[in-house]
Structure 1
Amino acid sequence: MNRIAEHRKQVGLTQLQAAKLAGWGQSRWSSYETGARTPDASDIKKILAVLVQFDKNVNFEVLFLNENVAA
């Protein structure tokens, strides 16, 4: 499980807003949040690039390893 949705909501973005910032459609972003689709390395970078714009403490460990690791 990942914490993409939790952090997206925390920074005040909708799925559609986050997806547009990543250059995707809303359904693609949603599929990563729900775990229906597993992001590859380049998609993880895009997800992080979107979220880190609003929260500098977001990193791979925080999103995917469920650890509260500061950047």
Structure 2
Amino acid sequence: MNRISEIRRAAGISQLALVDQLRWSQGRVSNYESGRRVPGLTECRAIVRALNVLGADCSLDDVFPPEAEQVPAAA
């Protein structure tokens, strides 16, 4: 799960502005925001960089929170 849309909206950034900054298609960004597609590390870094250029103050972990480590059940 990512927080692209949440952070983008909180910073007052339109999806179109993010699309323009990234020079990607609107569909690609929409698919990442909705979770239909999962961006690779390079794409994640580009998204965070674009959000920061557009005025958000966020890190990679803010936008793409690490999944909670699962602790094995005791036997």
TM range (shorter): 0.7 to 0.9
Identity %: 32
* Whole-angstrom distance in 1 between the partners of 2:18 and 2:56: 13
Moved over 6 A (4+): none
* Whole-angstrom distance in 2 between the partners of 1:63 and 1:14: 16
Q: Which has the higher contact order (CA 8 A, sep 6+)?
A: 2
Deviations 1:25-48 (A, max 9, x none): 111111110000110111111101
Gaps spanning 5+ residues in structure 1: where? Answer: 67-71
Gaps spanning 5+ residues in structure 2: where? Answer: 67-75
RMSD of Structure 2 on Structure 1 (CA):
1.3
Q: Which residue of 1 aligns with 2:56?
A: 55
* Whole-angstrom distance in 2 between the partners of 1:6 and 1:55: 11
Q: Which entry has the higher C-alpha Rg, 1 or 2?
A: 2
* Whole-angstrom distance in 1 between the partners of 2:42 and 2:23: 12
